[in-house]
Amino acid sequence: MNQEWLNQLPFENVNKVTPVSGGDVNQAYHLVADQKSYFLLVQPNQDKNFYAGEIAGLQEFSKNKINAPKVISNGEINHDAYLIISYIEKGNTNQRALGKLVAKMHQVINPAKKFGFEINSKGRDITFDNQWTDSWAELFVEKRLDALKDKIINQNLFDATDAQQYLLVRKVILEKLSKHSSQPSLLHGDLWGGNYLFDNNDDPILIDPAVFYGDREFDLGVTTVFGGYNQDFYDSYNEAYPIDDGYNERVHFYRLYYLMLHLLKFGNIYYDSVVREMKIILD
């Protein structure tokens, strides 16, 4: 990050830039400019529209009063996309408050009763079609799971036996979802344990969203894959927005999705976990 690049940011003075952990997608920095703190994300060799989905998601959160960083600026410098958002001073963990916040988010139902979002979910490895649909099964199975399966096969991460197993799993998922009443809830879309934090008032903040409207069990399933959520979170969520009967069976559909996504992104280290989830769904 050189000074010539920094001088093109929309500030009078950039006082300090410190690299921080920003996940596996972006270069991330704590930026101090005009004596105020910001969070700077940079994606080399991309135009400014790389961040269009994240910006739309953060704006959707803001519109619905869901705690999340605020968008400050977005642009492109020397063929690098950047996004500047508010910087969150970290406080103490409060999992019960986090459960209430996620329940509040999921209680936001798309007034048009459609599943999807105004912009596609764009990642480094795969882009998901979020075109509005009346059917959760269509959005989740056809536009997400099937797209993942195709990519995984193209990367030679599934063999013919795995592909056949997937078709059996797909049939079970469609059958179970046909008996479940899904509501198009506002979803974070990537709610693993690294995508929340607590501010200096100990209030939970949701970060790095991949927002769309879908069945709330999608988000809940993702929370179970890598940990980061304790029983206080789930108890608080369930008190605010009781989980539907059959969730313990359907949660594996969304665990499978998330593990397939990681298989695509990181390779065979996730293969056994994907196979295990498929087996659970078929048992």
- Annotated catalytic residues are 190
Q: Are 195 and 206 in contact (CB under 8 A)?
A: yes
Calpha distance 8→252 (Å, rounded): 47
CA atoms within 13 A on the CB side of 54: 28
CA separation, residue 143 to residues 22, 64, 115, 148, 209 (Å): 27, 26, 11, 9, 19
Q: Are 184 and 113 in contact (CB under 8 A)?
A: yes
Angle CA 116–178–168, to nearest 5: 95
Instruction: Name the nearest CA neighbour of 211 among 95, 114, 122, 107.
Output: 122
